[in-house]
Structures are given as C-alpha cells and as structure tokens.
Amino acid sequence: MNRQEKIKQLIDYRQKARLGGGEKRIDKQHEQGKFTARERIEMLLDEGSFEEMDMFVTHRCTDFGMQDKKFLGDGVVTGHGTIDGRVVYVYAQDFTVFGGSLSETYAKKICKVMDQAMKVGAPIIGINDSGGARIQEGVNSLAGYADIFQRNIMASGVVPQISAIFGPCAGGAVYSPALTDVVIMSDKTSYMFVTGPKVTKTVTGEDITIEDLGGANVHSTRSGVSHFRADDEEEGLLLIRKVLEYMPQNNLEDPPITPCTDPIDRINDELNEIIPENPNHPYDVKDIIYTIVDREEFLEFHRHYAKNIVVGFAKFNGRPVGIVANQPNFLAGVLDIDASRKAARFVRMCDAFNIPIVTLVDVPGFLPGSAQEYGGIIIHGAKLLFAYGEATVPKITITLRKSYGGAHDVMSSKQLRGDFNYAWPSAEIAVMGPKGAIEILEGRQIREIKDTQERKEFIKKKEDEYVHNFANPYQAAKYGYIDDVIEPRNTRFRIIRALQTLATKKDTNPPKKHSNLPL
C-alpha cells in the first residue's frame, strides 16, 4: 500500500464507522422519529467542535458467531467537543449497532472519556438509547456497566454529569443515569424501568404498557427520576446546553458569570401588591421568581413533579443561582415527602457545584397524615434539613409569607447558616398558625363558652391578637433570626447586593469521611 492508498484506507474506515449499523438501520431510527448518535452529538455541541475517539474499536466476543459481526465503533460514539466554547466529554449510544447494547469494549470506551473528563475537569454528557447489556457478552457486559457506575459515583460532585434518554434504557442500565446530576427524557420515544412490562406481568400479574410503566411522562410527574421531559430530542439537547450555562466545569470552579443587561436596581412595585390580603389565598410564586431574576429567565427543574415546591436555575446580575421556593398555588406550598426529596437533591447539587442558593419561603408546615408518616416524612424531611445545614455556598432566604414550625427551621433558616435572611412585611414567622395556636392555648376557655356566636367571636378575637403579636416578621427580627425586613419591590436589588457581598464567602464543614445523610 502506498501513502495515498493508506490515506484512502483511513478515509474509508472513517466513512464506514460513521455509518454505524448501516443505512437500513439508520432509516429505521429516523422512521421512529429518532436521530442517530452522531446526529445527536452534532446538534448538541458547538458546530465543528466534536472530536471522536475510539472510532476503530470493535468487540472481542466470539460466542454466538459474533466474530463475524463487527461494526467500527462498536455501538457507542465517544469523544469531546465544546458547548458555548467550554469543553465537554460526551458519549452517545448508537442503537443502529446491536441495538446500542453494551459490550466490554463499548464500556471501556465510555470509561475512557469519563476518566479523561475527570482529569480535565469537564462535564460528562451521556445520551442513552440502548437495548441494555449485550446478551452475547454475558458477564463482561455486566462488568462493563459496573465500571461505568463506579465512575459515575466518583465523578458525582466533581464534574457535572448529564443524562439524556432518547430511547430504551432498561434493567440495571438505568442506574448510570440515576447516578448523574440531571436526567432529561424525550416524550414518547424514551423509557426507563428496572423491569419491563413482560416480566412485570409474569411476576406480579400487572398489565401495563411501556409508556405507563416508564415513559417520560411517568418519570417527570410521578417518580421524579427525570428532571426534564422534552417534547423531542432537539429540545432535550438544547436543555443540556441550557443546564450547563449555569454550572461550573467542575467543583473547584465557580459557575460562569455572564454580562447582564437587566438593571440591577430595577424596582418592581407590583411585588408590594402580590401577596393576597387573605393569608389563606394562593398566588403563584413563579410570578415572583420571574419578576426578580435577570430577564425573566428561569430554568425550572422537575416542573411537573412535587409542584408544591419550585426549584431551578436563574441569574442575578449574570451570576447563576439555584432557586428553591415553596409554591402556595399547589397544596398551599406544604412540605411533603416528594417536595422534600426534590428540594434536598437540588440544594445538594447547587452546593456541590458552588452555586449560591436563594430560597423563597411561604410554607404552612409539613403535610399531616398517616400516608406521609408511614412513607417516612421524618426521614425525607430530614434530607432537606440536612442539605441546607450542610451547604456552604452563599444562602439567601426571603420569607414572603408563612414560615411555620419545623418547616421554618428547614427552609434555610438563620440557624442553618443562612447568610442573609430577609422577610417581607407580610411574613408570618411563628411556631404555628393562629388557628392551631389558639385551639391549643385557649382550648379550655373555648369549650366553656356554650353560645356558638360568642365562642366564634372569642376565637376570632384571640386569633387576631395572635396574628398581631406573633404572625409577623418582627418577632424573628427582634432576635436577629431575620436580618432585615425589606420592601418587596426592592427584592431583586437586595438579592444582587447580598450575592455580591457573599461572592468571597468561605465556610467549611468538619473533616470527615462523609456525612451519614438520612437516606
């Protein structure tokens, strides 16, 4: 072979590799409304930035006649590129090759990019579309998965890890995405489950479709496994880029600050009117979030799951923050098991990646009842408490309205090392609401009043007194648990100034192997 022939051979090999499992299978992928692994990577990364690695890898299996069935790349496309000019590592499972199933060499390819991402300190993005363990490879495939899991675990809290699910992701394979920071599922074309419908039917008798068992809808509304449900792959890929806009490259860096054109001293008079006069009336906390953040941009995580708490990324003066807000519009903003888990995971992610946390509080308390107690609200509520108490990033808390009882302590209170704890004049910070308090404190007197009208009036008078004396921000401010009571319309400016002041904040936890988070 002369020099020219050698170059032609290289070009031919590359072309062959780029065809994955061949045109027929690519067509089938497209017919199902799915893109191929390489198309997905092209759409995800900055134009022309992708450099593929291990394009010539093939499997080493000889069982089931596999020695005669080889595809360059072996079913996964790996490499690196940039997103908004910042380096990322990526792997995309190629369903056109053995259904994207995972072999020993395939796993090694993924591990290689994960290892390099850790050395470089760059995010890892995994695009999943796979029939799971390559059956022909047996235990080598299982070992390959476990090698990836181990790396997911080591990379957790070191570099951002994002998983997109654009096809099947079943069996043990689900545990790699589950170990990552963000899971995005494409609607109708993806599913995740530990055990599929067939086995479910055999073992339990339950008849259920793939979509109802593990579709994007289920995981973004009921299980919370998926942070985002994307209408299609394009939206899913765009979401990956958006999430990374708020995240640092690794845990030793701060999130990127971008120029901000939205005035920092913007006054929002409408906020002075936003809390209803009647404390039992709801309002949408997202209206407040959109009003105070830069350019009304809020990237909400878990939008359809545990809607009584709202979490997501936003910016103040170009500085990324994580926002956690009770949502009075849904279940009165009460804290329950799902809301506690959702917010705790978000707070920990922010803390791991040096993203300051802004908490907006309007919480009547924890949801009462046997379902919650049997479900372990004690342990799940403790997760959120733990997450806030452990977090060392700047923590700014604004109490908008209710902040009662244990939920007050949990929601980034001063004693959990809150840096700036502000309250609106509408805040009610107390052990419990007026109704509950008067029932307990005045119970005997109430029972002694026989006349119904008289009893009602007595209760009303006592409740009014309680509201006046205790359901306000000034009791807490009197003791310094609230640093300042602020006018709602100035909230944006006060948060921005607090974030600037705290930009050099340093706080640590005692040295330890790791905490014993109440899991």
Whether 100 is catalytic is no
Whole-number Å distance between alpha carbons of 155 and 146: 14
Q: With contacts defined by CB under 6 A, name the span among 163-171, 178-186, 330-338, 345-353 that binds ligand HXC.
A: 163-171
Give Rg (Cα) of the chain. Answer: 27
Whether 138 is catalytic is no
Q: With contacts defined by CB under 6 A, name the span among 94-102, 252-260, 286-294, 458-466 that binds ligand HXC.
A: 94-102
Whole-number Å distance between alpha carbons of 456 and 452: 6
Residues between 20 and 49 that touch ligand HXC (CB under 6 A):
25
Q: Which is nearer to ligand HXC, 94 or 428 (CB)?
A: 94
Choose the catalytic residue: 171, 236, 333, 381. 171
Among 73, 79, 81, 99, binds ligand HXC (CB under 6 A): 99
Whole-number Å distance between alpha carbons of 162 and 313: 15
Binding to ligand HXC by residue 142, rule CB under 6 A?
Answer: yes
Binding to ligand HXC by residue 75, rule CB under 6 A?
Answer: no
Q: Which is nearer to ligand HXC, 71 or 346 (CB)?
A: 71
Whether 503 is catalytic is no
Choose the catalytic residue: 121, 138, 157, 172. 172
Q: Which is nearer to ligand HXC, 98 or 353 (CB)?
A: 98
The region, left, alpha or beta by phi > 0 then psi within -120 to 50, assigned to residue 305 is: beta
Per DSSP, what are the bridge partners of residue 126? 91, 163
C-alpha distances in angstroms, 412 versus 93, 319, 359, 379? 40, 20, 7, 18
Q: At what angle do helices 285-292 and 491-501 cross, to 10 degrees?
A: 60
State the nearest-atom distance from the C-beta of 42 to ligand HXC, in Å. Answer: 23
Q: Which is nearer to ligand HXC, 63 or 270 (CB)?
A: 63
Q: Which is nearer to ligand HXC, 79 or 171 (CB)?
A: 171
Binding to ligand HXC by residue 76, rule CB under 6 A?
Answer: no
State the nearest-atom distance from the C-beta of 419 to ligand HXC, in Å. Answer: 42
Secondary structure, 3-state, 51-102:
EEECCCCCCCCCHHHHHHCCCCCCCEEEEEEEECCEEEEEEEECCCCHHHCE
Give the type of residue at 444: R
Whether 216 is catalytic is no
Q: Which is nearer to ligand HXC, 130 or 249 (CB)?
A: 130
> Number of helices and strands (H, E) in the chain?
20, 17
Binding to ligand HXC by residue 473, rule CB under 6 A?
Answer: no
Binding to ligand HXC by residue 79, rule CB under 6 A?
Answer: no
Binding to ligand HXC by residue 135, rule CB under 6 A?
Answer: yes
Burial pattern 6-23, b for ≥16 Cβ within 10 A else e, equals: eeeeeeeeeeebebbbee
Choose the catalytic residue: 17, 407, 437, 498. 407
* Residue ranges binding ligand HXC (CB under 6 A): 25, 98-99, 101, 131-135, 142, 145, 168, 170-173
Residues marked as catalytic: 171-172, 406-407
